[in-house]
Amino acid sequence: MAMWLFLGSECLLFGGLISTYMLYRGRITQGPRPSQIFDIPFTSVSSFVLLMSSLTMVLAVTSTQRRDYERSKLWLTVTALLGATFVGGQVYEFTAFYNEGLGFTTNLFSSSFYTLTGFHGVHVTVGVIMLMALRGIISKNRDTGDRAEVVELIGLYWHFVDIVWIIIFTLVYLIPA
Amino acid sequence: MAIIERPTPTAAITLRAPVTPAQSMGIVRRPVTSTGWKSWVFTVDHKKIGIMYGVFAMFFFIVGGVEALLIRLQLATPDGKVLSADLYNQMFTMHATTMIFLFAMPMAAAFANYFLPLQLGARDVAFPRLNALGLWLLVAGGLILNASWFLGGAADGGWFMYSPNSGPVFSPSNGVDFWTLGVQIAGFGSLIGSINLIVTILNMRAPGMTLMKMPVFCWMILVVQFLLVFSLPVITVALVLLTFQRSFGATFFDVAQGADPLLWQHLFWIFGHPEVYVLILPAFGIITEVLPTFSRKPLFGYPFVVFSGASIGLVGFGVWSHHMFATGLGPISVAAFSIATMAIAIPTGVKIFNWTLTMWGGKIWYSTAMKFSIGLIVLFTIGGLSGVTHAVAPSDTQQTDTYYIVAHFHYVLFGGMVFGLFSGFYYWWPKVFGKMLNEKLGGWNFWLMVIGMNMTFGPMHILGLQGQPRRMYVWTEARAGEGLFNFGFWNKIASLGSLILTIGILFFLINIVYTARKGKIAPLDPWDARTLEWITTSPPKEHNFDRIPVVHHLDDFFHRKYQEDATTGELVQIATGEQLVRAEEANADAHIHLPSPSYWPIAIAVGVGTLGFGVVYGVPIMIVGVLMILGSSFGFVLEPSVAQDIDYDPPASGGQDTKELAPLG
Amino acid sequence: MSHEGTLPVSKQNMTIFGGVKSQGRLNRKKTAVMAFGVLFMAGCARDAPQDTWQPKGENASNINTLQWIVFPLAGVVGVAVFALIGFVLWRYRDKGQAIPHQSHGNPAVEITLTIIPALILSVVGVFTFRGIFQLAQTNDTQMVINVTGQQWWWEYDYPAQVVNGVEISQPIITAGQLVIPTDTKVLLRETSRDVIHSYWIPALNGKKDAVPGRINLLRLQAYKPGIYAGQCTEFCGLSHANMRMEAVALEPADFATWVANQQRNAQQPAQASLAQEGEGVFLNQCIRCHQVNGLKKADGTAAIAAPDENVYSGAAPNLTHLMSRNTFAGAAFDLVTSDCRKNIWTASPEQFGAAYLEGVSPKCLNQTNLRRWLRNAPEMKPMYADPTKLASSDGKYRGMPNLNLSESDIDKLVAYLSTLK
């Protein structure tokens, strides 16, 4: 329940950031245009990686529900790795853009682009950290109440972050300004 | 993270007697101290947290009040020389910021934290450690906000902080940086607190308490928390954009780069208008408890009051642009927001009628708490009616940004919110501290506040309609006029009124000291009250209720005391409050579990505060802050849910019994 | 033009409004309310120049009509509610009666009490709707003026146009005082060069923000000649309180005279006069930011100001006809002595035009103010003009710095500025 409320709040956070981006995405006074630097195949692959992580998260949740903790540890690790791959891809992408002349302060488009996608990246990173902590909790076999519920809650967060990415990916990369 | 905490108060254990830790430094162990300063700093008890919220808020009420007095002193005469232009701008910015974020919201949080579980018949909130985290984040935010006074000047852009005036060019001191970070951090605290309170209300009501049998105070708090959950992220976005612009060179509000300065205003007011209801609704909740108690009648039209509160919350999200009628929105938007603003007056009017009709046919006891509640109805009505005059958008273009608006929102917020909070102080003081606030001093407190408040803010209606704009560090004879409506006379009256108001509030502080030293011990049910918080001792035990009450009615406590005589239909007292409390004690639960204190909430807050300073003073401090947050978050997540036996003195010798709370005799 | 009908009402209206307020203040002190009302009646001799209840033009009159609907209505509702509360408080005080019946309300009463305010508000809503669209109308505009706000003064730029048969052949640029012809629908196109400001002449219309990067439209119209006070009403930084403006309405014939004068270049001061020495000082110092049309450098070329190199907002008031305005520095200070000021502000509509067009005569010049300003401007009006603290604004000033002029330079400058009629 708390997680649902938190995610409701997060919706408005990303809503605000996306609105800012939509307002400013055409305002490019200097620097390269998005169409010149976006590498859509690359981003599509990393998006696919993130989507796959949702699948592995589901597998982690079901195996925890079956009390198959070895499996669930495995799937949590895979999910975290896929998430980390996505973040790594984003870091690579940012570096590439920066080298092509799109700094954070270059123009309004770049500021709002980096803020939006950066915020999302931070959410994925936090998710990865939570997944690792969860794996730690399970393997140390600490008494933390109903584990299945905890895994489910983090799963909920993870799916939310994925869905937000689908929206961002569509709006930022696929729909031309 | 909320994720591993269980919303059940039975998950953990504590001791009954004061204990000292034998080995308190074990890093993932939980502290067990229940005396001294550590019992406050590491506490997760909603009552202690509530009191700390209250103390914090009261301190900043005085700080904000001193700022207000300086403002009135400056404006008492034309071309005032008390403050420089720069200092004046900082003063009114910080007056508003302090009063809203560091007084009003924390004070409402104090009431909510303390009384919500008590009114719901619960032993604590859903997430006790998150509750503590919310408090300490607020403290961190408050400190950062006010640290700016000593580090090169406070924020000077007004609490609305309109861009581009808040940008790095136009406000070069660090004041605005501290402001954005302080508000941001305090906002995180509120967000965490509000999620916690919603879950508490929805999941932890006593058996039998359906939502429609819940006290209205809880309802109003519920609406407020939903407003916060959905409005805080919007201001977060605005603050993040502003911080990135100021500290990292982004251009979100740089017009030369093609930015739109109105973006800030929209984001700010989408948060800012619901915020108004965040401030006023807890006070509405308080007086909706007080009025029935002192009229000896149930609330008139309970469902209407509840639904009007909820609809105020809902419509409150759709009226933000009425703060922007003069910004050139275009006639269609202006008309739509104008109508929406009028619409929100209707549920507000419903409340005023219901309060009045609650008293109708009652048996009114004019205690100080009741006086403040009646004061709220009258003063808020004035503020509400002046509000309707600027729902009329064209009329608003004459009134906006003048003292008329200052008068309006002080009638609403001071006459409304502050009077409601004071009503709550007098009503619940005996519950929290076990002593009665002095009623005679309370009378002085009330009447001086009424006179002072009307003398201060009443003339501002005239000043505003005579064309004195707000936020001006001086006013000039040249624009003052000569008739009875001249600025000079009414500004003097307002300044004089602020002194009377100050004396009125001083009477409250005197009353606190007097009560602490010589106050009468409170009876268990001093007001012949109606709700569950009175079915336990004053102050309540750490575990609130000896036995979780089972609820059958709205105002259950009242119905346990009084019953209708079957033949005459008249109310007959069948028990006193005192007898009921004693009966609960006699039937106390044998096993009561409460959560252990924790180090980590305050540790995380310190980390967040450090990160905040890092944003202003450089990346190395930021990294330290992030590491502190990460470290303490792991501590938070991984700590055991109970203190270890060995930490208790004397160490618990294995058996469950020693750690459990025995009924207090 | 039905303004004759609406003009005198504001006095009474204030009484009604005051009555509402005093209800709250002195809820149970009826006599005091009465006394207060009488005082209000007696006290309306001369209101402040920014009174929002004395419309002097069509737009403000429209707003006033709406105020006239909503304020008395709010007053009546207020009195009714307070009477009800007062009655309840008196009637149901604790007289030792039994604990009342625990009634939980009456839906019929509830619904009625919801519908009544809704009905009242929908009536208000209809009038509001009409008012909003009335005030937004711009298609019958007769004159256009560009208004630009910056920290902390207003610039007026009259594009070339023909107004009521008067031709403005060259754009006019002036500051501080807006001059318009009477009975003419004037459209202000507002924008800003730095932060958000707000343009407000209460006697002529409500306020409209001047937002950088946007153009907002505001219509003004004045029934009679006169001078109407205003003030920037969006907080715009340090000297927000000192950012004032005045709108001057002139009969069409007087307006034509004013236009003709504004289109002239500044005259050369007489040879070997103090004023000519002052021109030298001006060329040495002031020309960096302030333009005087027609001013020539020693080598005979035109002297062009470069405020964009020195001032953050990129503009400084044009001083070509400084002495035709009777205020300076964002209309914050009088350029005329207080006696002369009074003559202009209290002149009858018939005499106003002549009094205003006379400008600042040597007799009327407020030497004290002008010299204080030239001696140290930021001391008189707070501005960001400390040369050591301009890092955030690219080394450019926001406002006029202290030029450290000698007293003799000031004498010369005053003599020169006095020639800028």
Touching, A vs B (3+ Cβ pairs under 8 A) = yes
Whether B597 contacts B647, CB under 8 Å: no
Domains of chain B by residue range: 46-541+578-588
Cross-chain residue pair C392–B169, CB shorter than 8 Å: yes
**CB within 8 Å: A27 and B4:** no
Q: Are residues C185 and C96 in the same domain?
A: no
- The residue of chain B nearest to residue C116, with distances taken between CA atoms, is B346
- Residue B2 binned pLDDT confidence (cut-offs 50, 70, 90): very low
**Which among B330, B480, B570 is the nearest to C48, CB-wise?**
B480
Residue C229 sits in a domain of what CATH number?
2.60.40.420
Q: Which of C120, C136, C152 is the last residue before a domain boundary?
A: C136
Which residue reads 């002095």 in tokens?
B438
Write down the pLDDT at residue C46.
59
Domain identity same for C322 and C218: yes
Residue contact B263–A23, C-beta within 8 A: yes
Give the residue from C102, C136, C170 where a domain finishes: C136
pLDDT tens-digit series, residues B416-439: 999 999 999 999 999 999 999 999
From the candidates B257, B287, B302, B389, which should be mutated to test the interface with C, based on the most C CB atoms within 10 A? B389
The Cα of C274 is separated from the nearest Cα of chain B by a number of Å equal to 33
Across the interface, which of B198, B257, B637 has its CB nearest the CB of A5?
Answer: B198
Residue segments in chain A with a per-residue pLDDT below the cut of 50: 144
pLDDT score of B319 more than 60: yes
What is the structure's pLDDT at C44?
44
User: Tens of pLDDT along A26-40?
Assistant: 777 777 777 777 888
ipTM: 0.89
What's domain A2-24+40-174's architecture?
Answer: Up-down Bundle (1.20)
Nearest Cα residue to C378 out of C48, C152, C198, C61: C152
| Confidence band, pLDDT 50/70/90 cuts, at residue B642 | low
> Is B9 a residue whose pLDDT tops 60?
no
Among B204, B257, B268, B641, which would you mutate to test the A interface (most chain A Cβ atoms within 10 Å of its Cβ)? B257
Q: Which of C136, C153, C177 is the last residue of a domain?
A: C136
Q: Looking at chain C, which subunits does it touch, using at least 3 CB pairs closer than 8 Å as the criterion?
A: B
User: Which of B402, B360, B399 is closest to B377 using CA atoms?
Assistant: B360
Q: Which of B363, B558, B574 to mutate to test the interface with C (most CBs of C within 10 A)?
A: B363
Q: Rounded mean pLDDT of chain B?
A: 88
Facing B335 at nearest CB: one of C93, C109, C129: C129
Any residues with CB less than 8 A from the CB of B146 and at least 6 apart, and which? B63, B94, B98, B154, B182
Q: Which chain A residues are closer than 8 Å to B641 by Cβ?
A: 143-145
Nearest by CB to residue A108, choosing from B233, B234, B258, is B258
pTM of the model: 0.90
Question: Using CB atoms, which residue from B86, B297, B301 is nearest to C100?
Answer: B297
Question: pLDDT band at B5, cuts 50/70/90?
Answer: very low
B89 vs B83: CA distance, rounded Å: 9
Query: Do C67 and B298 lie within an 8 Å CB cutoff?
Result: no
Within this chain, do residues C114 and C152 fall inside the same structural domain, yes or no? no
- The residue of chain A with its CA nearest to that of B243 is A115
Tens-level pLDDT at each residue, chain C (421 residues): 334 333 333 433 443 444 444 444 444 444 444 444 444 444 444 578 899 999 999 999 999 999 999 999 999 999 999 999 999 999 999 998 888 888 888 889 989 989 999 999 999 999 999 999 999 999 999 999 999 999 999 999 999 999 989 999 999 999 999 999 999 999 999 999 999 999 999 999 999 999 999 999 999 999 999 999 999 999 999 999 999 999 999 999 999 999 999 999 998 899 999 999 999 999 999 999 999 999 999 898 999 999 999 999 999 999 999 999 999 999 999 999 999 999 999 999 999 999 999 999 999 999 999 999 999 999 999 999 888 888 888 899 999 999 999 999 999 999 999 999 8
Q: Helix, strand or coil for residue C146?
A: strand
Do C240 and B472 count as a contact with CB atoms less than 8 A apart? yes
pLDDT at B93: 96
**Nearest by CB to B230, which of A8, A111, A130?**
A8
Percent of the residues in chain A that have a pLDDT greater than 70, as a whole number: 94
Number of Cβ atoms within 10 Å of the Cβ of B476: 16
pLDDT of residue A146: 61
Instruction: Give the pLDDT of residue B33.
Output: 65
- The answer to whether C62 faces chain B, any CB pair under 8 Å, is yes
Q: Is B634 exposed, middle or buried (0-12, 13-18, 19+ CB in 10 A)?
A: middle
Q: Are B392 and C144 in contact (CB under 8 A)?
A: no
The predicted-structure confidence for B48-57, as pLDDT tens digits, reads as follows 999 999 999 9
- CB contact, 8 Å: A128 with chain B? no
Quote the CA–CA distance of B148 and B251 in Å, as a whole number: 24
Amino acid at C346: T
CA nearest B251 in A: which residue? Answer: A108
What is the structure's pLDDT at B662?
36
Instruction: Test B6 with A108 for CB contact under 8 angstroms.
Output: no
Query: Cβ contact (<8 Å) for C382 and B466?
Result: no
- What pLDDT does B643 receive? 59
Q: Do B85 and C88 touch (CB under 8 A)?
A: no
Query: CB contact, 8 Å: B477 with chain C?
Result: no
* Spacing of C-alpha B589 from chain mean position: 33
Q: pLDDT per residue over B263-288, tens digit each? A: 999 999 999 999 999 999 999 999 99
CB contact under 8 A, B4 and A8: no
Query: What is the enclosing helix (H) or strand (E) of A47?
Result: helix A40-65
- Tell me which chain B residues have a C-beta less than 8 angstroms from the C-beta of C152: none
C365 and C224 share a domain?
yes
Q: Please indicate if any CB of chain C lies within 8 Å of the CB of B394.
A: yes
Q: Does B271 touch chain A (CB under 8 A)?
A: no
Question: Which of B3, B252, B630 is facing A3, going by the closest CB pair?
Answer: B3
For residues B14 and B542, is the Cβ–Cβ distance under 8 A? yes
B466 vs C52: CB contact, 8 Å cut-off? yes
Q: Are B302 and C42 a contacting pair at CB < 8 A?
A: no
- Residue type, position B182, single letter: G
Determine the pLDDT at residue C11: 39
User: C5 touching B, CB under 8 A?
Assistant: no
Residue B79 falls in which region: left (phi positive, over 0), alpha (psi -120 to 50) or beta:
left
Q: What is the tens place of the pLDDT at every residue in B378-387?
A: 999 999 999 9
B294/B661: higher pLDDT: B294
Q: Give the distance from residue B200's alpha carbon to the nearest chain C alpha carbon, in angstroms.
A: 27
* DSSP conformational letter for B435: E
pLDDT above 60 (res B98): yes
**pLDDT band at residue B363 using 50, 70 and 90 as cut-offs:** very high
Does the distance separating the beta carbons of A2 and B203 come in below 8 Å? no
Q: What single string gives the DSSP state of each residue in C196-258?
A: -EEE--TTT---EEE-BT--EEEEE--SSSEEEEEE--S--STTGGG-EEEEEEE-HHHHHHH
Tokens 């730095």 locate to C194
Closest CA to B107 of B367, B369, B423, B511: B423
Pick the residue from chain A with its C-alpha nearest to B247. Answer: A105
What are the structural domain ranges in chain A?
Answer: 2-24+40-174
Could you give the number of structural domains in chain C?
2
Question: Do C107 and C251 have their domain in common?
Answer: no
- Whether residues C124 and B388 touch (CB distance < 8 A) is answered with yes
Half-sphere exposure of C156 (CA within 13 A, CB side): 24
Query: Burial letters for B92-123: b for 16+ Cβ neighbours within 10 Å, e otherwise?
Result: bbbbbbbbbbbbbbbbbbbbbbbbbbbbbbbb
- Angle at the Cα of B531 from the Cα atoms of B525 and B536, rounded to 5 degrees: 50
CA distance to A69, B300, C84, per residue, from B359 (Å): 62, 8, 11
Superfamily grouping for domain B46-541+578-588: Cytochrome c oxidase-like, subunit I domain (1.20.210.10)
pLDDT at B272: 93
pLDDT band at B459 (very low <50, low <70, confident <90, very high): very high
Structural domain for C100, as ranges: 3-136
Residues 146-165 of A with CB under 8 A from B: 146, 150, 153-154
Asked whether the CA dihedral B1, B3, B7, B8 is positive or negative, the reply is negative
Which residue from B199, B630, B638 is facing A2, i.e. has the nearest CB? Answer: B199
> How many other CB atoms are there within 10 angstroms of residue B413's CB atom?
21
pLDDT of B32 over the 80 cut:
no
Q: A98 to chain B, minimum CA–CA distance in Å?
A: 15
Tell me, what DSSP letter sits at residue B167?
S
Residues of chain B positioned with their CB less than 8 A from the CB of C393 = 169, 172
Instruction: Choose the closest CB to A1 out of B199, B258, B634.
Output: B199
| A2 close to B (CB below 8 A) | yes
Coil, strand, or helix at residue C93?
Answer: strand
CATH number of residue C50's parent domain: 1.10.287.90
Predicted confidence (pLDDT) at residue B10 exceeds the cutoff of 90? no
| Chain A interface includes B623 (CB < 8 A) | no
B379 in contact with C, Cβ within 8 Å:
yes
Q: Which residues contact A17 (CB under 8 A, 6 or more apart)?
A: A112, A115, A116, A119, B237
Interatomic CA distance for residues A5 and B136, integer angstroms: 21
Predicted local distance difference test score (pLDDT) of residue C338 = 92
How far does the CA of residue C177 sit from the closest CA of chain B (Å)?
15
